[in-house]
A and B are shown apart, each in its own frame.
Chain A
Amino acid sequence: MLKIEDLRVSYGTEPILNGINLEVRPGESLAIIGESGAGKTTLGLSIMRLVEGTMRGRILLNSANLLTLSEQAMRDIRWNQVSMVFQNANSTLNPVHTILDQVMEPILEHHRANRPEAQRQASHLLTNTGLPSDRFSAYPHQLSGGEQQRVLIAMALANNPGLIVLDEPVSSLDAASRAEIVVLLNRLRRDHTFVVITHDISTAAKLADNLATMYAGRIVELGPAQEVVSRPRHPYTRALLRSYPNMTTVKDLQGIKGRMTRPVTGCSFHPRCTQAIGICAAETPPLVPTRDRQLACHRGGIVTLLATRNLSKSFDSLKAVDSVNLDIEAGETLALVGQSGSGKTTLARTIMGLLEPDRGDVYLEGQKVANRSKDFYREVQIVFQNPGESLSHRLSVLELVREPLDIQGIGTPEERDRRVRQALQDAELPASGGFLNRYPHHLSGGEMQRVAIARALVLDPKLVIADEPTSFLDPGVQAKILKLLLNLQERRGLSMLFITHDLALARKISDRMAVMLHGQIIEQGPSNTVVTAPTHPYTQGLVKTASALHSESEADAPLEQPRVETRSG
């Protein structure tokens, strides 16, 4: 129905849209999401050919290229074949006409009917959008926001166009009116083709079959709405999802580092992307079809940073780690949850090469890790449970944090000191001479763990394994350390394997969860799914006994554990 080919729009010399390719089939609903300034509205206005800038490329509506039509022909198409519900209902409506008159206007304008007939149709439309008939003769300012939105929708429907572009149809409304409009639009969606422009991902997910993520005038990800929302593949889509509050995600909100800048050579997202490599700054990735969606990313979307396959480690007859398969994606937190003795720490130590696995392999960015060279440790770091033990009491803060750089032989001594200061600042510690010369026993537990975190980060690793990093700390300090880790993840795109026995904690910081019991991963999935709909009985027990502020009789029942299966061998 609608096909956009290499659409480029610029205002003066500033490019707004940089080669948009889209196709919307009849009856389909496509949502376009992105930050403000991404060019979403320009794209919507382009379909109406209402853009003031220069337009190149082709917009085919029912096989007619809108960009080559005369203004007269275009006027015929607007409202009749494609209409638009504009953003900001309040200023779109004419304050001196009653709403019935305004809905009649496109009908009369296009000589679709005579006045009484138009009035009848307009009333019908308004009723259809759920506006009570006693409001028909009201003026716009007498209506609520939700009612105004209904009027605009009725206007867009007036001449029964095949395609309707909705620009932020619900974003200015309160939750109750929003829900009503979403219901209305979902009903109308059966008979019309929609292009919904919104920054509100939950609306997009509710209204659209397909979802396109726009960034700086380009589409970076396009695919079935449910799949894109539940498992975003482009780093930007994931970042958007993380920064938008919703009732499904359990992790704390995270922003996106930096600001949108243009023009940018190469991939427009690369300055903010945490997995950018050389090519990302040089070439613009094309939008190419992948397994279930289209994606514009040189790295094929979010990369899997570290993977374990069949990783096993036994101590005598005890299978501490039993055929564990884990995937940790770039920039995500995977929480490894399990009680003490479930093998969590053994797994971490085996990944780090502190223990030799009996079986199985570790893969770093797709490459099998055979023997751990210094390069491996530059990418993967660990923060141990007890900072008092992981920091040598003989070394000062400066020596401690500089040790990784000394071992790796990075930079000149001055540069190392500079990086130490930077890492300390990143860990929200003072980088002054006095602090640098302190010894661990002069520091509080929270400070020691921050030093340990700074030390793990000084090599700028891609993955940090955090083994119960807050279990030795007070709740207040724990909260601060967790916030720090989340901030570092946002800024540096750090991936984390967060090991904890505390489900309530894991839920706040993780994108995905893996539950470990007797050395095996018994359940893994998005954190919200694991927490709200656990499938394994053990996980269900964990959820029941996790810290909650309201008392439930169930919560007092002891956690039932499946029997330990000790198999000798």
Chain B
Amino acid sequence: MHVDLKKELTGSGRGRFGAALFLLMVVTATFAPLLAGYDPTAQSPLAFQSPSLSHLLGTNHVGQDIWSQLVYGARTSLLVGLSVAVLSTLLSTIIGTSAAMIGGWYDRIVMRVVDALIVIPIIIVLILVAAYLQPGLWVLIILLSLLGWQAGARIVRSQALSLKERTHLSAARCFGGSRLYLLYRHVVPDLGPILLVEFIYSMRRAIFMEAGLAFLGIADPGMISWGMMMREALDFSYVNAWLWWLLPPGITLSLTIVSITFIGYSLEPTMEPRLRGEAHA
């Protein structure tokens, strides 16, 4: 059975909504310099301004334009989300498939490492490491990727193991195909749907984690991020600014995560029957 991703995505209301919303975020992030109007880091004497035509969402405590920060914050969120998704899915794929294809001692060692990483509460480790490193954007991306592949690797491995026994892979072996060939020509493409779901969820997780860390104030303070905005806004809850300072980043973050979740939901059902290995006519 062929999976027509586009059809599945646009086939349901949720899928359409998620896709449209996500697209909006991507466009915003891409064209941030055009949409912002101000340098989001530029300070000005005009602090605590209410929304006006010159400052759509007013300014913060150091006179930065909140709308510009919101727009640039989308950049950070999506950059972290996509980069971590790419890296951790890549790690999951490499580690999961190699464990499945090579087997033996390699498989056992890798899987024990995965088990260990799964039982360790990642968020605690992340907070500790981040607090110590005060990571910038790229260190944060690498950190999130390194701590986010294990669950995916386990799923990939178990699916690759069942794929390995499928007849069309036996057939490819009988043409003289090497393990590497089987991997890149059959296993990984066959895992495509799983990897896509894995990609979407690790993106969601990464965006959430980045916002969380920034909110806790343990990321690089120079970074423009929705989490950071919310943290700063919270400190000034006694002024009325929370309405246009705290809520907008909170809402955009929620919408981004909701859009990704909806995309994941709408794609998931099409993957499941195949992943369970049902016959395809």
Contacts and interface: CB of A to CB of B under 8 A. Distances in A.
B232 interface: no
Nearest to A378: B176
Nearest to A399: B185
Interface stretch (A156-164, A183-191, A386-394): A386-394
B159 to A, nearest CB: 15
Interface stretch (A244-252, A295-303, A403-411): A403-411
B205 interface: no
Contacts of A390: 167-168, 170-171
B2 interface: yes
B189 A382 contact: no
Nearest to B281: A441
B176 A384 contact: no
A451 B176 CA distance: 19
B2 A389 contact: no
What bracket does the count of chain B residues touching chain A fall in?
20 to 34
Contacts of B167: 384, 386, 389-390
B177 interface: yes
Contacts of B170: 349, 352, 354, 384, 390
A439 B2 contact: yes
A381 interface: yes
Interface in A341-380: 349, 352-354, 372-374, 376-378
B171 A384 contact: yes
Nearest to A354: B170
Nearest to B279: A388
Interface residues of A, number: 30
B85 to A, nearest CB: 23
Contacts of B171: 382, 384, 390-391, 452, 455
A459 interface: yes
Nearest to B175: A404
A393 B1 contact: yes
A391 B170 CA distance: 10
B179 interface: no
A403 B175 contact: yes
A388 B189 CA distance: 18
A441 B168 contact: no
> Which of A381, A389, A459 gathers most chain B CB within 10 Å?
A389
B280 interface: yes
Contacts of A392: 168, 186, 190
A137 to B, nearest CB: 75
B166 interface: yes
B201 to A, nearest CB: 23
B15 to A, nearest CB: 23
Contacts of A389: 166-168, 279
Contacts of A393: 1-2, 280
Interface in B1-57: 1-2
Given A389-B168, A394-B189, A394-B190, A441 B280 contact: yes
Contact of B2 (A376, A386, A407, A441): A441
Interface string B249-281: 000000000000000000000000000000111
Contacts of B174: 352-354, 377, 381-382
Contacts of B161: none
A376 B167 CA distance: 19
B1 A441 contact: yes
Given A384-B170, A388-B280, A408 B2 contact: no
A407 B1 contact: no
Contacts of B2: 393-394, 439, 441
B106 interface: no
Interface string B143-183: 00000000000000000000000111011111111000100
A408 to B, nearest CB: 6
A157 B272 CA distance: 87
A349 B165 CA distance: 12
A441 B168 CA distance: 14
Contacts of A441: 1-2, 280-281
A349 B169 CA distance: 13
Nearest to A382: B174
A386 B166 CA distance: 11
A88 B229 CA distance: 111
Contact of A407 (B172, B279, B280, B281): B172
Given A389-B166, A441-B281, A377 B176 contact: yes
> Which of B1, B172, B174, B176 gathers most chain A CB within 10 Å?
B174
Nearest to B168: A392
Contacts of B189: 394
B120 to A, nearest CB: 36
A257 B181 CA distance: 38
Nearest to B170: A354
Interface in B171-221: 171-177, 181, 186, 189-190
A378 B176 CA distance: 8
B172 to A, nearest CB: 7
Contacts of B173: 352-354
Contact of A459 (B166, B175, B279): B175
A457 to B, nearest CB: 12
29 contacts: A353-B173, A354-B170, A354-B173, A372-B176, A376-B176, A377-B174, A377-B176, A378-B176, A382-B174, A384-B167, A384-B171, A386-B167, A388-B279, A388-B280, A389-B167, A389-B168, A389-B279, A390-B168, A390-B170, A392-B186, A393-B2, A393-B280, A407-B172, A407-B177, A407-B181, A408-B176, A441-B2, A441-B281, A459-B175
Q: Which 4 pairs, one residue from A and one from B, show the smallest C-beta to C-beta distance?
A: A374-B176, A404-B175, A389-B167, A377-B176
Given A349-B170, A354-B174, A393-B2, 10 more contacts: A354-B173, A372-B176, A377-B174, A377-B175, A384-B171, A391-B171, A393-B1, A393-B280, A407-B172, A452-B171
